Chains A and B, each alone.
Chain A
Amino acid sequence: MAATECPFLGYGVGLRRDHFDSLWDHADSVDFFEVLCENVMGFGGRPREVARQVASRFPTVLHGVALSIGSFDPLNDDYVTRLGALGRELGAHWFSDHLCFSSAHGVDYHDLIPVPFTDEAVKHVAGRIREATERVELPFALENPSYYIEYEINALDEASFLTQIVEEADCQLLLDVNNVFVNASNHGYDPYAFIDALPHERVCQIHMAGHDVQPNVIIDTHGAPVVDEVLDLYRYTIERTGPVSTLLEWDHNIPDMAVLVDELARIRAAGEAVTQAKGTAVPIVRHTSDPRSAR
């Protein structure tokens, strides 16, 4: 799927257990949901039931943390098979995961470990993306992760590494704007120049989130409101990409759904102000069962 064919799903939030009961009270404030595949794939019961209910009303996309697209181990058969099945079950528009490795030698880290930025790694990761995309049978979006170390062997800058992979794999880009801010702060580069260097036509989704500022490093916690600097960077991004499905992530210190949708409204206002000013606004693609689709 070319980036221009990515439907604009509007402004969404991640499906979290804390909101299983309350999300329906705020259904009109959310356009789409991102389902964390590891929270649903191996589960029956409530998580599965709510994911199905959500998918019957809202567009969904899948997001993962355990595909381990950079690993030197083979792709995990069980994981990839379940991912494809979940995508079909929920009718997800695409799936995404991070440019990292999260397992090796059969050991799962449950964390996003950076891959060295080298030419050989570009080819390695791009090949695995093509394989995963073929097996899951959904478009794939690669996310720029936050990272805290710079390997001595890095031969490319981050933007070039990311761009070369998505170009070679012919996949989409999930641009985490908070991660750009965090990485730029931690590694001393210009976040705006980073945005400029990316292939804007491949950005099919944006992540927004909060972070934690510590004395010598900023940690990408997804546990706080989006800071103004990240919102400014988001506006700058939307000016260049046009409307992009935008999702608010909140994984720690998760607030009530009411707080979450207020934060989402702030992001929506920023995005819509840019697209209206630039004349690039497009209608939001909604689920056919969503009453808003008839408005």
Chain B
Amino acid sequence: MSEPGFVQAMKTMHAVLRGDVSVTDGAQALGVAEDRLGIYSDFVRGHVTGILDKMYPRVRELTGAAWPELKQAYFRAVPSAHWELNACASGFPEFLDAQVATVDDVEPFHVALAQFEWEEFAVYMAEADVPTAAEVSGLTLNPTLSLLSLPYPVVPFVMAWDEQGAPPADIPERVEGGVVTILFRRGESHRIAFYQPGADMLFAIRVVYEGISVADAAQRTNETEDRVVSALNQAITSGLLIGSATGL
């Protein structure tokens, strides 16, 4: 049995919207006005490229003249496959990685920066509710915590950019073994916090993740209990941990 006409028409529309069929040919096949069909073609493409502009402002600035073509190429290569509009940008870091070898203005650092920028949004939209200290027993990790291992020190680069209102002059050096980068959403303000964590912050994560008591943590690290509590309190103040250090 042949497909109903309306399904055939919708499939032709799909081909036009994906750029597989030109607007001119599509308009002829559908018997519609070419300029009107072009409205849809422009809208659909513009939604995706507009989200890339919004999600990757730093990569956009650093890639400069290459950016417009990168957006168009991404639209063609990575069809949007999620009902939430912003999610259409999730595949961009991987796409960008594949462009390093062929596009002069795209460097490996840009890929790491794109991974960071996407993660900022992913943490912002994370569905987990961040509890208040009163809602948890003991001490717990912020449920929106995301740990990345990036090949570049992206966090200091981004912080310097934010402070001076312009991109730093030099791209940082690659770090063998990667750089741990953490992001989480603060409970009350809902603001995104990001760190290149020092030893104390990583230690605090480990203590809570492994459920170690303050006394055991002090013993394992040859530190005083006061030193352990101090590290935990700093992590609580930052929003990385929730609860009370005395709860361990």
Contacts and interface: CB of A to CB of B under 8 A. Distances in A.
A198 interface: no
B10 A104 contact: yes
A157 interface: no
Interface string A95-112: 000000101111111110
Contact of A149 (B4, B5, B37, B82): B37
B6 A116 contact: yes
Nearest to B13: A113
Most buried by A among B18, B80, B83: B83
Nearest to B126: A44
Contacts of B32: 149-152
B26 to A, nearest CB: 10
A74 to B, nearest CB: 13
Most buried by A among B36, B47, B79, B87: B36
A124 B25 CA distance: 27
A48 interface: yes
Nearest to B28: A152
A121 B6 contact: yes
Contacts of B83: 38, 66, 76, 78-79, 103, 108
B190 A111 contact: no
B170 interface: no
A153 B6 contact: yes
Nearest to B190: A46
Contact of B80 (A109, A121, A124): A109
A260 interface: no
B84 A41 contact: yes
Interface stretch (B38-46, B98-106, B156-164): B38-46
Given A104-B14, A111-B44, 12 more contacts: A42-B127, A44-B185, A72-B7, A101-B10, A108-B80, A109-B47, A110-B80, A116-B5, A118-B5, A151-B9, A151-B31, A153-B31
Interface of B: 4-7, 9-11, 13-14, 17-18, 30-33, 35-37, 39-40, 43-44, 47-48, 79-85, 87-88, 124-130, 144, 185, 190
